[in-house]
Amino acid sequence: MTASTNRIAFQGEPGAYSHEACRAARPDMEALPCRTFEDVIEAVRSRQADLAMLPVENSTYGRVADIHHLLPESGLHIIDECFVRVHISLLAVPGATLDDIREAMSHTVLLGQCRNFLRQYGIRSIVGPDTAGSAMLVAQHGDRHRGALASALAGEIYGLDRLADRIEDRQNNTTRFLIMSRQADESRRANRAGDDRMLTSFVFRVRNIPAALYKAMGGFATNGVNMTKLESYMVDGVFTATQFYADVEGHPDDPAVARALEELRYFTSELTILGVYPADPLRAEQASG
């Protein structure tokens, strides 16, 4: 048996929000930075890491491109989810003040989340490689007139001062991450807060019959199973080949979920369970907020 590495892989530079998610969800594990999402998955498959931390959607910008295509082919299983509030800090070289900053660098998505703050202080936006990578470049160049928009963790890692915190326009901005493993784990029935709310994620393709999707979804409605997400995307760039990704509340062993999945199988040509896992405690707050 291969020994555990006690590592969790994430995409980005140290200090990325995915790194922050690793610290929040698995503080006892070493976070392993990877260049791409594919590299994150491969790190787990090749046993360089035990777990993968992958962002799937953001409350402001929607789903993360390409992730839904990667999940079914990854060979990995979802064992947990992690919600991370995106709190943005303005970082600068030691000794710089807010009045010194003339331009701020970050990923284009993060720049768009701080428009009000940047406008208020007359700071010009500069598109950087990513959030933590921008912080790293600011630290390397040492220009007191250039700041970075990134996590407080990035400031800690690269030795930058935090000139302003929580400057995002929307205070409820949240990213949902999935934690994936080589082995499925359907044994748990509660999250770290003791909440027993479970989720089941799966992908499927409907059979080529009239109203197949409508009929496939009927089993969840008649059995009272709450579907929290349903998304479609093309497969291999073909308009007629559509795959669906879904999250439902409950465990496949629950009678209502079992009946709904049985009915779904009748109307699908493919059905793959991606994972069964506890709901993150922040999920309820995000739904109510």
Residues forming the active site: 175, 177
Amino acid 8 reads I
With tokens 């990995």, the residue in question is 76
Amino acid 152 reads A
- Alpha-carbon span 277 to 189, nearest angstrom: 8
The dihedrals phi and psi of 242, each to the nearest 5 degrees, come to -115, 130
Residues 6+ away with beta carbon under 8 Å from 224: 256
Residues 6+ away with beta carbon under 8 Å from 63: 56, 57, 231
- Between vectors from CA 167 to CA 289 and to CA 126, what angle results, nearest 5°? 125
Longest dimension (CA), the chain: 67
Residues 6+ away with beta carbon under 8 Å from 161: 91, 92, 93, 94, 95, 96, 155
- Token pair for residue 186? 């359907």
- Alpha-carbon span 131 to 16, nearest angstrom: 6
The dihedrals phi and psi of 147, each to the nearest 5 degrees, come to -110, 180
- Alpha-carbon span 154 to 131, nearest angstrom: 8
Are 135 and 12 in contact, with CB atoms under 8 Å apart?
Answer: no
- Alpha-carbon span 264 to 251, nearest angstrom: 15
